[in-house]
């Protein structure tokens, strides 16, 4: 039996509000990864590594490790709503990262819970795990497109996710990526970061496409490593951390891109699992 209690409400800026310099706070709304490399766990590690306090709303519990996902348990929509209410009743959230959601009811609940809060939203449309396991059913794609894309300040799809949202072929060139980014902006988000990790070539190219048509190109060497589990989660949460710290979108994306490249470069220094291992979220801190 699950019991829902009303969260204690503290007026923002009231007598019980914290004093002194504000602590940047970011919220992740995503699924839990028992292997620790992606989802909520990766998001909270990223927030902490980047000097941001992390709060979380768990949408699903997965049984997974570096080899794949063996089970998924969806959190009831009323518990997701209660988590959102509890966080916003007390914490001054500066940015929200949305990851794995699940069915249409969960998407509707999250959209309704965020509607009253005018804060930056980074939407990572998690659809398939690195292992190939499906994480978003087909019935939920339309709800995601209709309810959350218009609310997003930034959408961060990889190439297969962008194609699925647009119901078209996967982009094969930078021109295709830019065109799909503009098409996704037309669905509502202020900007789209087209991630080129699934592309080809010696360099990985990401394109930040804004609603006004401007395109920012970010590149990095395509590194040979199996340890890339959670790269999408890490990048989107790093962007949210930057926004929570007051960076504008372009600066937050550039800083997050640099952080992720460092985490990938250091990933082989971790001995965590025998499959697709995680990136090294604390590469800068542990090296000290």
User: What per-residue confidence (pLDDT) applies to 121?
Assistant: 98
User: What per-residue confidence (pLDDT) applies to 224?
Assistant: 84
User: What per-residue confidence (pLDDT) applies to 195?
Assistant: 96
Which of 94, 195, 196, 199 does the annotation list as catalytic?
Answer: 195
Residue 190: left (phi > 0), alpha (psi -120 to 50), or beta?
Answer: alpha
Check if the beta carbon of residue 145 is closer than 8 Å to that of residue 165. Answer: yes
Q: How many domains is the chain built from?
A: 1
User: What per-residue confidence (pLDDT) applies to 135?
Assistant: 63
Contacts of 200 (CB under 8 A, 6+ apart): none
User: What per-residue confidence (pLDDT) applies to 189?
Assistant: 97
Would you say residue 76 lies in a domain?
A: yes
- 3-class state of residue 160 by DSSP: helix
User: What per-residue confidence (pLDDT) applies to 279?
Assistant: 93
Would you say residue 156 lies in a domain?
A: yes
User: Tell me: the pLDDT tens digits for 188-232?
Assistant: 999 999 999 877 777 999 999 999 999 999 999 988 888 889 999
User: What per-residue confidence (pLDDT) applies to 17?
Assistant: 43
Which of 28, 231, 234, 242 does the annotation list as catalytic?
Answer: 231
- 3-class state of residue 88 by DSSP: helix
Task: State the Cα–Cα distance between residues 282 and 286, nearest whole angstrom.
Answer: 6
Which of 233, 234, 242, 277 does the annotation list as catalytic?
Answer: 233
DSSP run (H or E) holding 80? helix 77-90
User: What per-residue confidence (pLDDT) applies to 10?
Assistant: 41
User: Which residues of the chain register pLDDT less than 50?
Assistant: 1-2, 4-19
Check if the beta carbon of residue 55 is closer than 8 Å to that of residue 26. Answer: yes
Which of 228, 234, 242, 277 does the annotation list as catalytic?
Answer: 228
Which residues form the domain of 148? 25-281
Which of 102, 153, 230, 277 does the annotation list as catalytic?
Answer: 230
232 is catalytic: yes
Would you say residue 112 lies in a domain?
A: yes
Would you say residue 86 lies in a domain?
A: yes
- What's this model's pTM, rounded to 2 decimal places? 0.91
Which tokens in the block code for residue 113? 């819970």
Contacts of 4 (CB under 8 A, 6+ apart): 78, 79, 82
Would you say residue 4 lies in a domain?
A: no
4 is catalytic: no
Task: Check which CATH number belongs to the domain holding 251 and give it.
Answer: 3.40.1190.20
User: What per-residue confidence (pLDDT) applies to 60?
Assistant: 94
The number of angstroms, rounded, from the C-alpha of 48 to the middle of its chain's C-alpha atoms is 15
230 is catalytic: yes
195 is catalytic: yes
| Max CA separation in the chain (angstroms) | 57
Would you say residue 2 lies in a domain?
A: no
Task: State the Cα–Cα distance between residues 281 and 288, nearest whole angstrom.
Answer: 14
The number of angstroms, rounded, from the C-alpha of 51 to the middle of its chain's C-alpha atoms is 17
Would you say residue 165 lies in a domain?
A: yes
Which of 199, 232, 242, 277 does the annotation list as catalytic?
Answer: 232
Would you say residue 121 lies in a domain?
A: yes
């Amino acid at each position: 039996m699950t019991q829902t209690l009303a969260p204690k409400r503290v007026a923002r800026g009231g007598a019980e509000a914290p004093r002194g310099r504000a602590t940047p706070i970011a919220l992740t709304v995503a699924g839990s990864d028992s292997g620790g490399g992606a989802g909520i766990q990766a998001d909270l590690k990223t927030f902490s590594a980047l000097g941001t306090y992390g709060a979380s709303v768990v949408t699903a519990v997965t049984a997974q490790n570096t080899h794949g996902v063996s089970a998924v348990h969806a959190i009831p929509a009323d518990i997701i709503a209660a988590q959102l209410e509890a966080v916003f009743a007390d914490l001054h959230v500066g940015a929200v990262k949305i990851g794995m959601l699940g069915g249409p009811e969960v998407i509707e609940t999250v959209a309704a819970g965020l509607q009253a809060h005018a804060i930056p939203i980074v939407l990572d449309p998690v659809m398939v795990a690195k292992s190939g396991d499906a994480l978003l059913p087909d019935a939920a794609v339309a709800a995601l497109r209709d309810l959350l894309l218009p609310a997003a300040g930034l959408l961060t799809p990889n190439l297969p996710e962008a194609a699925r949202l647009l119901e078209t072929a996967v982009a094969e060139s930078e021109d295709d990526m830019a065109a799909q980014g503009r098409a996704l902006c037309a669905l509502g988000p202020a900007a789209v970061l087209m991630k080129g990790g699934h592309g080809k070539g010696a360099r990985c190219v990401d394109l930040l496409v804004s609603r006004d048509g401007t395109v920012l190109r970010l590149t990095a060497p395509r590194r040979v490593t199996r340890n890339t589990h959670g790269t999408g989660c890490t990048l989107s949460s790093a962007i949210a951390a930057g926004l929570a710290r007051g960076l504008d979108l372009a600066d937050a994306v550039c800083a997050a891109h640099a952080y992720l490249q460092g985490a990938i470069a250091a990933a082989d220094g971790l001995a965590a699992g025998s499959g697709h291992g995680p990136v090294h979220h604390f590469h800068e801190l542990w090296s000290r």
